[in-house]
């Protein structure tokens, strides 16, 4: 039976105090780490070294989202660094998708396939029996703080009709729209701004936002 999971993305955290930021989300189910290479997406973020550092500071499983070209070159580095879940984008592994997914699984971590908003589900149809989770982007990947793309809702519903595993939604999720995402069939919620950015969360503490998403989410789910 799937559960609602909340995965705060550290992309909007205070990097000068990551230790403190991780404490603020100690009721999270996963810690989402957005790896960007400046090629697949127009931004550069973290590498395996940061994953390794975070691993030492938390017992929460690390959900590493690779937004990079040629991910196969770096998979073992991220797994050695401490990734527990690893997702790769179908847009960059069209030619060798099964092989890459197999590589991730052979290292003993959960393998996810990620899709940009405009990539149709048909692109991953044949992989559904191989992956542990599907990550649907609800913004164009690259930056935190963008607006949730409403057109992804029918895509979630369509995927849920044919797939019983974990569906992770990433981009623009907040306290106003998370219910719609769950009702459509997603069970893992990624949120950066809504959890870490004071501009977005206001007075609410990160833990409270996580708790509300989980409690209410589980009520909707069951
Ligand atoms: C976007 C990243 C997301 C991002 C979400 O490229 O994959 O994980 O951090 O940020 P928010 O929740 O602010 O949209
Ligand atoms: Zn992400």
Residue 202 C-alpha to ligand 1 middle, in angstroms? Answer: 18
Q: What range defines the domain where residue 61 resides?
A: 5-221
Mean pLDDT of the chain: 97
pLDDT digits (tens, 9 = 90+) for 139-194: 999 999 999 999 999 999 999 999 999 999 999 999 999 999 999 999 999 999 99
Rounded distance from Cα 117 to ligand 1 centre (Å) = 13
Nearest to 7 by CA among 184, 135, 130: 135
pTM of the model: 0.98
CATH of the domain at 213: 3.20.20.70
Structurally, how many domains does the chain consist of?
1
Residues with beta carbon inside 6 Å of ligand 1? 9, 11-12, 32, 34, 65, 139, 141-142, 144-146, 170-173, 190-194
Token reading at 212: 């509300």
Residue 2 CA, distance from chain mean position: 16
Alpha helices in 74-205 (DSSP H): 75-81, 97-106, 152-162, 178-184, 193-196, 198-201
> What is the band of 222 on the pLDDT scale with cuts at 50, 70, 90?
confident
Nearest CA to ligand 1 atom 4: 144
The mean per-residue pLDDT over the stretch 30-39 comes to: 98
Average pLDDT over residues 90-117: 98
Q: How far apart are the CA of 141 and the centre of ligand 1, in A?
A: 7
- Environment class of residue 42 by beta-carbon count within 10 Å: exposed (0-12), middle (13-18) or buried (19+)? exposed
């Amino acid at each position: 039976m799937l559960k609602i999971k909340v995965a705060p993305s550290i992309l909007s955290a205070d990097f000068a105090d990551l230790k403190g930021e991780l404490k603020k989300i100690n009721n999270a189910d996963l810690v989402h780490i957005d790896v960007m290479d400046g090629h697949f997406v127009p931004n550069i973020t973290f590498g395996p070294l940061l994953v390794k550092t975070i691993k030492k500071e938390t017992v929460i499983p690390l959900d590493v989202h690779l937004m990079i070209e040629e991910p196969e070159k770096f998979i073992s580095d991220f797994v050695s660094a401490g990734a527990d879940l690893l997702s790769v984008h179908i847009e960059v592994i069209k030619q060798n998708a099964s092989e890459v997914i197999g590589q991730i699984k052979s290292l003993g971590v959960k393998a996810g396939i990620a899709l940009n908003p405009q990539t149709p589900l048909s692109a991953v149809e044949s992989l559904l029996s191989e992956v542990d989770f599907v990550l649907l982007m609800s913004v164009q990947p690259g930056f935190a703080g963008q607006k949730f793309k409403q057109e992804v809702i029918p895509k979630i519903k369509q995927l849920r009709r044919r797939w019983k595993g974990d569906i992770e939604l990433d981009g623009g999720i907040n306290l106003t729209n998370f219910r719609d995402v769950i009702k459509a069939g997603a069970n893992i919620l990624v949120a950066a701004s809504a959890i870490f950015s004071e501009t977005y969360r206001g007075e609410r503490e990160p833990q409270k936002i996580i708790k509300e998403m989980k409690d209410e989410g589980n009520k909707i789910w069951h």
